[in-house]
Amino acid sequence: DGGITQSPKYLFRKEGQNVTLSCEQNLNHDAMYWYRQDPGQGLRLIYYSQIVNDFQKGDIAEGYSVSREKKESFPLTVTSAQKNPTAFYLCASSIGVSGANVLTFGAGSRLTVL
């Protein structure tokens, strides 16, 4: 079955540490996205990518970095520069990058800063 796999499901980080969240898809989708989900707020876009080796900042990119070396993979690094990283992170993909395309989401990664 095609889908998106995120790992780890839960992650704890000490202040000052960088952590990397994995996202892999086997849907052959061109576009991939990272969203952050906080209680009481809508999903906020961190980064997105339309093709390999290209990505664009979303609304809240500061303190995050991404890479897109393979079509299937779009890892997110939460750096020590992100001042409030505790959140639920969702990776998604779609056929194209237009907002009119249906998104397929991964099950999410919950990051907690100790």
Q: Using CB under 8 A, list all residues that contact other proteins.
A: 4, 40-45, 88, 90, 98-100, 102-108, 110
Q: State the minimum distance, in angstroms, from the CB of residue 107 to other proteins.
A: 5
Q: Please answer whether residues 52 and 69 qualify as being in contact, where contact means their C-beta atoms are separated by less than 8 angstroms.
A: yes
CB of 106 to other proteins, least distance (A): 6
Q: Which is nearer to other proteins, 16 or 99 (CB)?
A: 99
Buried b (16+ CB within 10 A) or exposed e, 54-89: ebeebeebeebbbbbeeebebbbebeeebeebebeb
Closest approach of other proteins to the CB of residue 103, in Å: 7
Q: Which is nearer to other proteins, 80 or 97 (CB)?
A: 97
Distance CA 64, CA 54 (A): 15
